[in-house]
Structure 1
Amino acid sequence: MYLINTTPSPKGPGKVTKPTTEEELSAVKKGAQAIDEFTKGSGIDPAKLVTGPKYTPPPELKDLPVGILGAGCAGLYTAMILDTLDIKYEILEGSGRHGGRVLTHEFTSELRGQPYQYFECGAMRFPDIFLMKRTFDLCRERLGMKEDSFLEVIMYNENAIKHFNGISAKQNDYKKSDDNGKTSADTFKIGKSTKNKDGWIPQEYLDEGTTSLYSKTLEPLRNYFVGTPFQDAFLKLMRHDKHSVRSYMRETMGFPDSVIRWIEAMEWRTGGFDGSLTESVIASLSFDDPRSTKPKWFCFNGGTRIVTDGMLNKVRYKPKYHKQVTGIKEMAIHDNQAVEVQVDTREDPRGDHAEKIPGKYSNVISTLPLSVLRTVNLDGIYLSIGQKSALRELQYHPSVKIGIQFKTAWWEKMGIIGGQTYTDRTCRTTVYPSYGVPNPGAGTQKSNVVIAAYNGLLDSQRLAVYMKGYNTPQEKILLNFIMNDLAAVHQKPVSELWEEYLDYYAWDWYGNTFSQGAFAWFGPGQFQEVYPHLTMPAGKKQRLFFAGDAISTCHGWVVGALNSAWRCVHDMLVAHPELNPNPKEDIMAKFMKLWGESEEWDNIAGAKHVYLGRELFKRQQAAD
């Protein structure tokens, strides 16, 4: 069988036909080490990790489709893969739109018909790096996007601002005077000295600066990935998984707590250093991948929605909207070889209709965020205690964005085109647009829509409590203090900004029923416990699979959703070869040829992981 072939499988996607580096070839042979640690501790005889007895579905089950829960990136990508394999499916989407956490908001009340009157509530920028190759393959090869679909993102602007302790400074000036790794002018008046007895940062740390201190912490860990197969480097990194960023800085780096809080305030989000160290290293690879040299970042011309719109146009069977999943259960009447999905359609504006009845599926691939899946009734399907615990424990990162439409891009008159401003005020981060067309009348180059506040963790929660709906009294209060923040940071009269104001839109991912958070954020030690359990199919006959960026090493990125969809289809074919519509064809070989290898998931080790799940479930059910 192809699955147990020890030679490298056919490469893809796109035009790549063989491993591009020795490291990639080595990853195919050695990548199983990450899952092997879990396997070795399981107590299951390795000889049992083989293909199970052949199953032939009876006539009443033979033509059941695969159920895909969710029409975000993972769900639509799953559908695209199944289309190429001629496997039928049905997509159930709880909301009235596709895209999931890709959400482009377009302002339509003012300046109607003018281009670039939008901002991204969700995914907004993509580095063209090694980790993101499946995303760019999707766009360039699968969706046929031309180069004019990609707009380069300006990640840094020297005139953008740092504003802390009530003091504003241009980022380039601050970099030279304070954050240079040598001496500090103490622009923000926080150093402990004879002149400033109320300061709290010792001079030696102040002189080095937060950029250097933060890099000194993460850079050695990022360098694990240089010249080493990704999965081997990841396993080495996991040795530090017991640490939060804060504990690692305190215990390993020896930084005082006051310095750690200072680095967090300047470089990350309030409370962010309580998260997993390894999580932060993986996240930082997207910004500082040591294997990529000065990568370009891109956004999409017309918004990230053109990606999910393109995926929607490609899939053979379109999503069924307003089908909020309320229950998933195995069907004992069919020896648990089929799965029933119960839905609630009360939010469907079309009213009551026959599609409220439960759906019956051969397998179910859930791309629902785990926070949402936690609110689905799973009493009727077998989950291991590890899977139940993972669903309960995994935390999702709160995040908000507030976009404001102005008459003109007034910040450009300050020399700010693209880049971001950082502050300790409530707005925390302001993101200036890198997309747009010149407006000769206003003398500006890019869009007049700015993300006035982009927050996460505690910073976002303090804004989210005001998000009660567009133009509600609470959101008017919210808008007022965000405008005050913009005025203070940019050192402008707030009345001047109100003269420029047209409209706003606020979005809270944590408060949304269908997301309940922006992306997964693991605590110390949690990834090693969660990942092996949720990458195993659930159910007595292994017919429920978990997808989504949370069950990936690339949390919070579209590529994590795509990689997880790849894994689920792969594992479903391993567990259920009877899905092959053409028994004369090697469907796994076809899948690998068309959709390539996964950097995260070695196909041979992945197959054994599925078999391990089957044996563990047998043992657990025998003990029940």
Structure 2
Amino acid sequence: MNIETKLQQCKRANHQPSKHVTILGAGIAGLIAAYELERLGHQVDVMEGSPRIGGRIWTHRFGDPIDGPYGELGAMRIPPQHEYVLHYVQTLGLGDKLRKFVTMFEEHNALVNIDGTVLRIQDAPRSIQMHYRGVFVDERYSEKTRLFAAWLKTIVDAIGSGELRECLERDLNSHLMDELKKLDLDPFFDVCGKTIDLHAFIKAYPSFRNKCSKALNIFLSDILIETSHDLWQLEGGMDQLIHSLAAAINGPIRCNQNVVALRVYQDGVEISWLEAGKLHTRLCDYVLCTIPFSVLRQIELSGLDEDKLATIHNIIYWPATKVLFLCARPFWQESGIFGGASFSDDAVRQIYYPSTKSHSSLNSVLLASYTIGNDARYLGMMSEQERHSYVKEALSKLHPEIKVPGTLLDMTSIAWGNYKWSAAGCSIPWDRSAFYQSPQHQDAIPHTESVYHQKAASPQNTLFFAGEHCSKLPAWLQGSVESALQAVYDIVSHNSSVNPNKKPSLVLEKG
């Protein structure tokens, strides 16, 4: 459903008296919901546990908080098909800030580090063939089949977690090479025969995905999005979307309100939270909870049914870690690299170069490491100083310039798996067994992407839920926005015996 239809659906369903909705979480899902509920004539207040708004949209600015060099510790790109997000970019007057995001494999001069050997990204697959050998040099398969498989491994190695890399290796060794052997791969190589067009290949052979392990099959959707050549970013920082939303909301948005309990009753929801060392409790008519389940499962919950509690506790989350380096100059441009990303088989994995320039100086911010899964967990276990030192050493294998005195001016990082207010990078739409289930038995996998988000989003009386974990598109802003609008619809169309004129009660329980 396109967004205009969805908004009209909400408007048509809005036949109830004005409601007061308390929203837990000031990330994009919570703020979108607040914005649209107010437009429909309802009252909102937003409670945020952390000292900042934005959730996993987090633009870090070095120096000048307004015009200083910046990098994204959280969301950094918008696919063109994510029309819900782009709708709000335009609605909030940010359309003129949209700029192309040069992504992984788009800049062929970017670098690859394979076991200490550094080469251009376009030459990586042949080196992978010789380095890993096995099926990649098995002469039962044609050179094109082996090279195509090596490219597929290069792509998954660069973008996927360690678990997904293992999935692909098992699939290649057990049956995928034989599947590739049956297909005409020539149309998907470039004129030089070096690189492949994975998007065209999947479009031509959609059934190939069903030959992959379940988790890899699902993750191919993210790979296709992340390697698209028409991604967008917001020049000046993604947090402009958050601050523009907040400015457009009339109701209060309060930070440092740490929710510690939710109790669902027939006629409302009781919230307990800590603020400035004091415990408060309030009975609310309607509550929209956008708190990640990775955090929600740590607080006191009562009045929820067993199926809902099982969903909250069983949804799988992945860690993610990002490290930003402020550099005195964009030295990578001296190697012909203008945007895009390099990658390394060290734990730093993806290294993204800025596609836009800072207005204030020659200083440039490098996303020196972007990791998910096991790699992110490994970096997250380090102290910040250890993490920065590790990334600097690993990055120097690709860019020795980083060790030249005066080149590296500042550093910062976020290990989302350790961050109190998310306890994860994002949810993932599969059960752990999906990593190991063979394709012929994939129907036996429980809790797949087709149903998990419906269970996550299901309300409990007047307690509603939204966030990327409640959507078909986990980890993406689009999923958060879609789930927020569905929650808005569910709230405004909800019939309740709650007195619409009753004010939320506030009780100070403990000092």
How far off its partner does 1:215 sit? 8.9
Q: Could you list the per-position Cα deviations for residues 464-520 of structure 1 after superposition, in whole angstroms to 9, with x for gaps in the alignment?
A: 1113xxxxxxx3333222111111123x26642x43111100111110111010110
Pair 1:121-2:121 in alignment: no
Aligned to 2:473: 554
Report the structure number with the largest CA radius of gyration. Answer: 1
Q: Does structure 2 conserve the Cα–Cα contact (< 8 Å) formed by 1:102 and 1:122?
A: yes
How far apart, CA to CA, are the structure 2 residues paired with 1:124 and 1:304?
7
2:230 pairs, out of 279, 287, 296, with 296
**SS of 1:283 mapped into structure 2:** helix
How far apart, CA to CA, are the structure 2 residues paired with 1:128 and 1:564?
19
Pair 1:488-2:397 in alignment: yes
> Where in structure 2 are the equivalents of 1:47-58 lying within 5 Å?
none
Aligned to 2:325: 404
Uncovered stretches (5+) of structure 2, i.e. residues with no partner: 157-166, 180-197, 199-211, 435-444, 502-511
How far apart, CA to CA, are the structure 2 residues paired with 1:568 and 1:580?
20
Q: Could you list the per-position Cα deviations for residues 84-137 of structure 1 after superposition, in whole angstroms to 9, with x for gaps in the alignment?
A: 1111122111011110000011112xxx589451110000011212xx000000
Q: 1:215 to 1:146 in 2, by over 3 A?
A: closer
Aligned to 2:61: 106
1:513 pairs, out of 408, 420, 430, with 420
> Where in structure 2 are the equivalents of 1:214-229 lying within 5 Å?
none
Q: Does structure 2 conserve the Cα–Cα contact (< 8 Å) formed by 1:386 and 1:530?
A: no
2:138 pairs, out of 202, 216, 221, with 202
| Stretch of structure 1 that moved more, 154-163 or 520-529 | 520-529
How far off its partner does 1:581 sit? 7.8
**SS of 1:328 mapped into structure 2:** strand
How far off its partner does 1:387 sit? 1.5
Q: Does structure 1 conserve the Cα–Cα contact (< 8 Å) formed by 2:368 and 2:395?
A: yes
Aligned to 2:115: 165
Pair 1:307-2:244 in alignment: no
Q: Could you list the per-position Cα deviations for residues 23-70 of structure 1 after superposition, in whole angstroms to 9, with x for gaps in the alignment?
A: xxxxxxxxxxxxxxxxxxxxxxxxxxxx9xxxx9xxxxx986211110
Aligned to 2:255: 321
**SS of 1:190 mapped into structure 2:** helix
Q: Does structure 2 conserve the Cα–Cα contact (< 8 Å) formed by 1:312 and 1:318?
A: no
Q: State the TM-score, normalized to the length of structure 2.
A: 0.76
Aligned to 2:100: 152
Cα RMSD (Å) of the superposition?
A: 3.5
Pair 1:535-2:429 in alignment: no
Aligned to 2:382: 466
Uncovered stretches (5+) of structure 1, i.e. residues with no partner: 1-7, 18-50, 57-61, 194-198, 217-243, 257-266, 268-272, 289-293, 468-474, 583-624
Q: Does structure 2 conserve the Cα–Cα contact (< 8 Å) formed by 1:406 and 1:448?
A: yes
Q: State the TM-score, normalized to the length of structure 1.
A: 0.63
- Structure 1 or 2: larger strand share? 2
How far apart, CA to CA, are the structure 2 residues paired with 1:456 and 1:10?
30
Q: 1:188 to 1:477 in 2, by over 3 A?
A: farther
Amino acid across the alignment from 2:294: S
2:489 pairs, out of 557, 570, 575, with 570
How far apart, CA to CA, are the structure 2 residues paired with 1:311 and 1:493?
40
Aligned to 2:341: 420
Q: Does structure 1 conserve the Cα–Cα contact (< 8 Å) formed by 2:267 and 2:497?
A: no
**SS of 1:138 mapped into structure 2:** helix
How far apart, CA to CA, are the structure 2 residues paired with 1:502 and 1:357?
44
1:86 pairs, out of 31, 41, 46, with 41
Amino acid across the alignment from 2:464: F
How far apart, CA to CA, are the structure 1 residues paired with 2:312 and 2:451?
12
Q: Does structure 1 conserve the Cα–Cα contact (< 8 Å) formed by 2:318 and 2:373?
A: yes
Aligned to 1:190: 131
Q: Could you list the per-position Cα deviations for residues 159-199 of structure 1 after superposition, in whole angstroms to 9, with x for gaps in the alignment?
A: 11011021111123x1xxx64xxxx4x36741548xxxxx9
How far apart, CA to CA, are the structure 2 residues paired with 1:374 and 1:91?
20
How far off its partner does 1:10 sit? 10
Q: Does structure 2 conserve the Cα–Cα contact (< 8 Å) formed by 1:68 and 1:90?
A: yes
How far apart, CA to CA, are the structure 2 residues paired with 1:189 and 1:248?
19
Q: Does structure 1 conserve the Cα–Cα contact (< 8 Å) formed by 2:327 and 2:365?
A: yes
Q: Does structure 1 conserve the Cα–Cα contact (< 8 Å) formed by 2:351 and 2:370?
A: yes
Amino acid across the alignment from 1:151: R
How far apart, CA to CA, are the structure 2 residues paired with 1:103 and 1:382?
32
How far off its partner does 1:578 sit? 7.0
How far apart, CA to CA, are the structure 1 residues paired with 2:68 and 2:217?
37
Aligned to 1:478: 387
Q: Does structure 2 conserve the Cα–Cα contact (< 8 Å) formed by 1:341 and 1:360?
A: yes
How far apart, CA to CA, are the structure 2 residues paired with 1:280 and 1:388?
26
Q: Does structure 1 conserve the Cα–Cα contact (< 8 Å) formed by 2:471 and 2:480?
A: yes
How far apart, CA to CA, are the structure 2 residues paired with 1:438 and 1:74?
30
Q: Does structure 2 conserve the Cα–Cα contact (< 8 Å) formed by 1:168 and 1:489?
A: yes
How far apart, CA to CA, are the structure 2 residues paired with 1:330 and 1:115?
45
How far apart, CA to CA, are the structure 2 residues paired with 1:407 and 1:215?
31
Aligned to 2:287: 364
**SS of 2:301 mapped into structure 1:** coil
How far apart, CA to CA, are the structure 2 residues paired with 1:476 and 1:213?
32
